[in-house]
Every structure is written in C-alpha cells, then in structure tokens.
Amino acid sequence: MRTIHQFIDGAAYTEAGGRLQDVFNPSTGAVQAQVSLGGSALVDRAVASAVKAQPAWAAVNPQRRARVMFEFKRLIEANMKELAELLSSEHGKVVSDSMGDIQRGLDVVEFACGIPHLMKGEFTDGAGPGIDVYSLRQPIGVAAGITPFNFPAMIPLWMLAPAIACGNAFILKPSERDPSVPIRLAELLIEAGLPPGVLNVIQGDKVVVDAILDHPAIKAVSFVGSSDIANYVYGRGAANGKRMQCMGGAKNHGIVMPDADLDQTVADIMGAAYGSAGERCMALPVVVPVGESTAEALRAKLIPAIEALRVGVSTDNDAHYGPVVTGQHKARIEGYIQMAIDEGSELVVDGRGFKLQGHEEGYFLGPTLFDHVKPGMKSYEDEIFGPVLQMVRASSADEAIELASKHQYGNGVAIFTRNGDAAREFAAKVEVGMVGINVPIPVPVSYYSFGGWKRSGFGDLNQYGMDGIRFYTRTKTVTARWPKGGAVSDQSFVIPTMR
C-alpha cells in the first residue's frame, strides 16, 4: 500500500517509527493509502531546514523570485489534470470542481509573480533639513501554514505563494485526510527552481500543530479550519509572540428579495449550497426569502431543482457533486439533519439513505432541504458543512440583514435582487466580511483579500492580496541625515522634529 511521507530539504523524507493513518477513497470507502504522522522532532527538522535555507533565498532579488513563481505557475497548468484527479481521489469532489480548487490557488500564484512591485517601499525626499525618510518591506523569516481538507490545493497556494515570493521559508502542514496534492505541489515548486528547504511539507495531527505553534523560530502562522480550532490556534500562537492569521467557520446567508430573478437565483443556489457536497466555508447553506410570497415561489422552484441534482463518484463528468470526505463526517451531517427535525424544522427533501449503485460503501449523501428554520435552533447556528440547505423566512429586508449580521459567523453573504439601491444599502449595513450582489459565492479575486468577521476570522490581516504581503513581511522605516560640509550640529535634548 502507498505511504505518503514528509517533504523536507527538497525531497521525500521518511521519519523512523512514525505513526500511520489511513487515507480513504470517499467514493468507495476503501483505504487507498497511509500517511505518516510526525511529531515535534519532525517539526524541529523542518524548521532547521527552513532556517538554513531562508537567508540565501531572501537575498535573491525579487525579480528572480518572481521567475520561480512564473515557472511554478506554468508547471501547475501543465499538470492540472493529474493534480485534479489526485485531489478528487482523496477528497471526493468531482474532477471539474477540483480543477476550480487548483485554479483559484493558481490565481494567487499569478498575483505573487508581481512581487517586485508588491514589495516596494516608500521614499520621502527632504522630510526635514537634509533628511530623507524611506521604508523597506523585509521578509519575516520562517512562516507556517495549517490547512484544511476541503481545499487541499487552493488554500496551501494562498499561503505559500505570497510567503515564499516575499523571501520567507515556509512550512506547510496540510490535512491528513487528503495529503497527496500538497506534496505534489512542493515537488513542482522545486522543479520550478525553488532552493531545497525553502518549502517543507510535514504531515501530522494536533501534535505537529502544537509543535508549530510553540516553536520559537516560526515567526508567523496562517490557519484555515473550524472556528473552535482557529480560536485555539490563534490564542496559543499569539501567546508565543507569533503573528497569527486564522480563518474559521461560516454559515453564509443568501437573501432573496421579492424582485429577484428566481430562475437565476435557484440556479445560483444549487451550485452554492450543494457544490462540493457543501464542504466549503463559502458555501451558501442558508437561504432567506423576504416575504411569504417570495418564500413560497422560491420553495416551489427549489424542490424540482434539488430533485434533478446528480450525485456521483468524483470521476463522473455528469455529477453535480460527489461524496463527503469521510464516513465520520457523513455521520455528523446526518446527525445535524435529525437535530433539525427534532428542533421543529420542516424536512422538505431528505438526503439520508442515498446509495450509489456499485459504490454502496462510499460516503454519499443526497441533497437535503429544510424550511421554516428559526434563529436559535442549533442546526441553524452551527456550521453543518454538508449538502444541507436551510430556509429561514424573513418578513422584511431589515430582518434579513439582521439575521446575517447577528449570526456568530460573518464570513460571506449574498443578496439576490434587481434593485441597485437595495443592494447598495445591504452591502453597507450587513456585518459580514465578504458580500456578493447576485454573486452566490463572493470569494474575492486574488488581488483583493479573503477574510470574514466575528468567529469566521481571528487576526487583523486577511488571506492573499496586499494583506497577504503585509502578513509575510515586516516594515522597516529609515530616517537618514547627510550633513553638509561636515558641520557639527549643536547638542539637543528635546525630541527631534523635522522643523
């Protein structure tokens, strides 16, 4: 059976006596590989490699670092099909969705190719008599990233591309549920010309995470995962003096106004709620129709659209979505469906008990729809992270805005309307970090930045874009004086000014 190892110093590394964990094929339920889980000694080895490699890499001029990023981009594009099939085999999402996963990460690699411009500082000539002031952006040293199972290509690329382009060394700890694609990306980056040790990939669980958070040589940590763990990671890392950037869970709302184009809205909701089996932090698991007539009309269109969805194996080109990632996660989602029933929600479409012929042991769930869901229900307050759509009816636009604004999560939100004034007011008022106007999954383009509010984000800087450059660099400000003719100034004991 295939064993997935570590990647240190530019090559595969096998740690003697390491623990092994099964990696499943979600479409069949069968074990397809084992991943070697490291411990604190592995983290020490990876950090030592990174510390050794980073100074020379930081000394490489930004234009040459950009050339490595350009070649990395080319290699990802050349190997897209292989990467997507490998990703789908471990995650379960359909191959077309895996390609989207890789492409959104590739967009950030492309952004990082502009690093010579992105790292430019500022200069003020003559800020005072004979005094110039200028600023420099410098790498922080060694950074680390801890990434989730649901985007095993996109989120590692969101982190490692800007970090490495800025001149840092980077240690990546991917999810142990689908660990192969991050290793393959590391191999391609070495092929692109990255010196060994600048990127190390270490497999592990909480033992490795804690070792990363406690290691004094790691200066910054980026994390994406559930909110409870994000809060823990943020607190422990910050207590150790690290710069932290931790993205948590979500419960994104889609507000449907009475004037919305319902056919287009339903088409958008299908992909946003059920794509990737709902295993996205930017999924749209809550739909909020404004007014009873809107709710009834929307429900009437949702039911046949849901019944027409095709659930299949990850290699099925006609499937809308595939299995969830593990049997344990499937059972968790089914538990939330039962919870919602017990809480009094109306189960309109039940996805439990779905079996795919020939793949009866796979981790499949049919699409589920609930209506008459109420705030305060635990199934509404929690992130289910599966193919479950909940309808919460609102009597007014203000009530709909309040629902999204008062929820514990504030990652993304969308409004469906033809009214520009209503959309503008919504965007201004809603207390959520990322807003879509007739866009169901408002993930910003690579030159903006990604980040939620409230329990969806811990830390002051978001992922990628200029926030990513700020996160992986430190600003140094230099004040320089060049006296004329060697004249000696009088002694002064007051705070210096530029007057």
Residues taking part in catalysis: 281
**SS3 of 67, please?**
helix
The identity of residue 417, as a single letter, is T
30 backbone dihedrals φ, ψ, rounded to 5°: -90, 150
Strand partners, 289: 256
Residue 118 burial class via C-beta count within 10 angstroms: exposed 0-12, middle 13-18, buried 19 and up:
buried
- The secondary element (H helix, E strand) that includes residue 45 is helix 40-59
Residue with tokens 């019944």: 307
**SS3 of 425, please?**
helix
Q: Contact at 8 Å (CB) between 237 and 220?
A: no
Distance, CA of 242 to CA of 253 (rounded, Å): 33
Distance, CA of 340 to CA of 374 (rounded, Å): 10
Beta-strand pair 412-416/253-256? parallel
Listed residue (340, 427, 422) closest to 386, CA to CA:
340
* Backbone conformation region of residue 358, classed left if phi is above 0, alpha if psi is from -120 to 50, else beta: left
C-alpha distances in angstroms, 72 versus 66, 67, 69, 315, 473? 10, 8, 5, 26, 21
Query: Helices in 372-484 by DSSP H: which ranges?
Result: 378-381, 397-406, 420-429, 465-471
Percentages helix, strand, coil for the chain (3-state, rounded to 5) are: 40, 25, 35
Beta-strand pair 131-139/243-247? unpaired
The token duo for 375 is: 């705030």
182 Cβ contact partners less than 8 Å away, ≥ 6 residues apart: 147, 152, 153, 156, 172, 174, 201
Q: Contact at 8 Å (CB) between 15 and 26?
A: no
The beta-strand segments (E) located in 147-185 are: 169-173
Distance, CA of 443 to CA of 446 (rounded, Å): 9
Q: Contact at 8 Å (CB) between 31 and 326?
A: no
Residue 308: other Cβ atoms inside 10 A: 10
DSSP 141: S
